Structure formats: structure tokens, C-alpha cells
Structure 1
Amino acid sequence: MPTAAKAVAALCLAALGYLASELVKTLLPEITNFGRFSEFNAIVGGFVGWIIVGTRAGRGTRDAIANGLTGVAALIFWSVFLHACLEMFQQAMKRRFDGPVEAFSAIFEIGIQYGGILMNPMMIATFLIGALLTGYFSEYAARQWK
């Protein structure tokens, strides 16, 4: 059932996904072709905000902070996982793997490489501030528009 808290959480995490994607672009070489990288992560953020953060809103301020942190952790996990799967698929189409087990294990290797890029003080601060704002705004929306 649609609620204001779900909509606000989806918008907040979609915005955070887009902003974080734009910041990640500054950390990678300029020659990298990103395609619809930012839009993809914004969509992932919208789904995570709607499903995870929005459904848990309305439980209090302390839980709102934890809810925002959980949502951002889920956003990071799903974005990295999906991009690693896409990269593995692209490499598999170029026949870089000897079998399906090697391709499956490559998802995790690629994910670890992508996660390493996010271990940057600027990215960590962005995610923490985004988590606090997402938790607060979704909690406010849950209280204000029941």
C-alpha cells in the first residue's frame, strides 16, 4: 500500500543513489563509459527506499537513524551486486571465463573491486549524511501524513 513515508524514502534514496553515482564518476578514469550509471543507481535507490526504508518508518527517531543506515547499506549492496553481475555478463559474452563456476565467482571479485572504490572519505561521508537525512525525512513523513 502506498504511503507518504514510502514515497519520501524512495525519493531520498533515489537522489542519494544519483548523487553518489555522480561522485563515483569523479573517482574513476575519464575514459570510462558510464552509460546510464547514475539513472540505474537512482532506480535501485528508489526500490530500496520504497521496500526497505518506507515500510519501517514511523517507529521513532532512534529507529529512523537505524532505518536510514539499513537503507543505505542495502542500496550499496544491491548497486554493487547488480553492477558486478552486469560486468560479469559482459565479460562472459567475450568468453573470458572457462565455465559457469568461474563466472559466478567473478561476480564477487568484481564486487570487491567496486566496493573498494567506495572506501573513500568523501563517499563514506555522503552515505552517512544521506542515511541520516533519509531516515529523518521518512520518519517525519510517516508521522505527519498517516
Structure 2
Amino acid sequence: MTFTAARVIGALMMAGLGWFVSDLVRPLMPESTIFGWFNHVNLGLGFLIGWAMLGPKAGGGLMISLANGLTAAFALATVGLFTQAINEMLRLSTRKMYPNPLRALEDIFRILADYGSVLLHPTVIGPLIIGSVVIAIIVEIANSLWR
């Protein structure tokens, strides 16, 4: 695992995108939602995805970078949804909301569907996809400038 300009730039920019998209999600959630470390967790996930997915794949050209950007957007959305759904299930389980562990595991998918519908709102999914593609192009440029 080497430090490259593409990895660092991809990680930092995807982390910023994770934070930005988290702020776009907040107004769409119910007022009773307790966000806690929501932005921070998504920032960390964005950092990891930028470091592990965008940086190493740089160098394939413009069309490959567009595909990498779409893949990164899908990965950030998927990993973020699962992470937040598991976190919510754990929060509910500490309040004794589930009669048994199987119900808790089943509820992850209900929560995932609820959060996924919010993520599909145009004011969230649009910036996520466009931002990831732009970041992937910037990572591609960084890779060509600093090898």
C-alpha cells in the first residue's frame, strides 16, 4: 500500500463528498432523527473508498475514470446505507425494541429500505453521482501529473 497523489486526493475528496452528501440527507430525515456521528462516519467511509477504490484504479483514461466514479458513488451509497442501518438497529436493540436477535437482524433490511428511499431523492443522488465522477476525473488528472 503506497502513498500516491491519486490515492491521497481521491481519499480526501471522497471524504469531503461523504460529509457533503450527509448534510444533504439531514433535511430529508424525520425531525426526531438522532444523527450523532452520522457525518463523521460517512466522511470516514468516503476516505476509505477514495483511498481503496479511486486511487489504485487511476491511470486508465477518461472513460475508465467515469466508470470508477460511478462505482465509487455506488460503493459509498451501499456501504454508507449498511453502516447506518446497522448502527440504527444497534441503537434500537439497546432500547429493547426487539424480542430476539433474529428480529434485530431482519430489521436491518427495513431500515436499509427506509434510508435507501431517502438516498434516492434527486437532491442527494444527483450530487453523489456527479461529485464522484468529477472526483474520479480529478484523480485521473492527478495520477497523470504526479506518478
TM-score (ref. length: structure 2): 0.93
Aligned residue in 1 for 2:39: 38
Aligned residue in 2 for 1:52: 53
1:31 shift after superposition = 4.2
CA RMSD of aligned residues (A): 1.2
Contact 1:56 1:67 in 2 (8 A): yes
Question: Distance in 2 between the 1:30 and 1:104 partners?
Answer: 25
Question: Distance in 1 between the 2:107 and 2:44 partners?
Answer: 24
Aligned residue in 2 for 1:135: 136
Question: Distance in 1 between the 2:37 and 2:66 partners?
Answer: 30
1:129 shift after superposition = 1.3
Contact 1:13 1:72 in 2 (8 A): no
SS for the counterpart of 1:133 is helix
Aligned residue in 1 for 2:118: 117
Aligned length: 146
Q: Where do 5+ consecutive residues of structure 1 fail to align?
A: none
Contact 1:14 1:45 in 2 (8 A): yes
Question: Distance in 1 between the 2:120 and 2:96 partners?
Answer: 31
Contact 1:53 1:135 in 2 (8 A): yes
Question: Distance in 1 between the 2:3 and 2:112 partners?
Answer: 33
Percent identity over the alignment is: 36
Question: Distance in 2 between the 1:32 and 1:105 partners?
Answer: 21
Aligned residue in 1 for 2:11: 10
Contact 1:64 1:136 in 2 (8 A): yes
Supply the AA of the counterpart residue of 2:19. Y
1:32 shift after superposition = 2.9
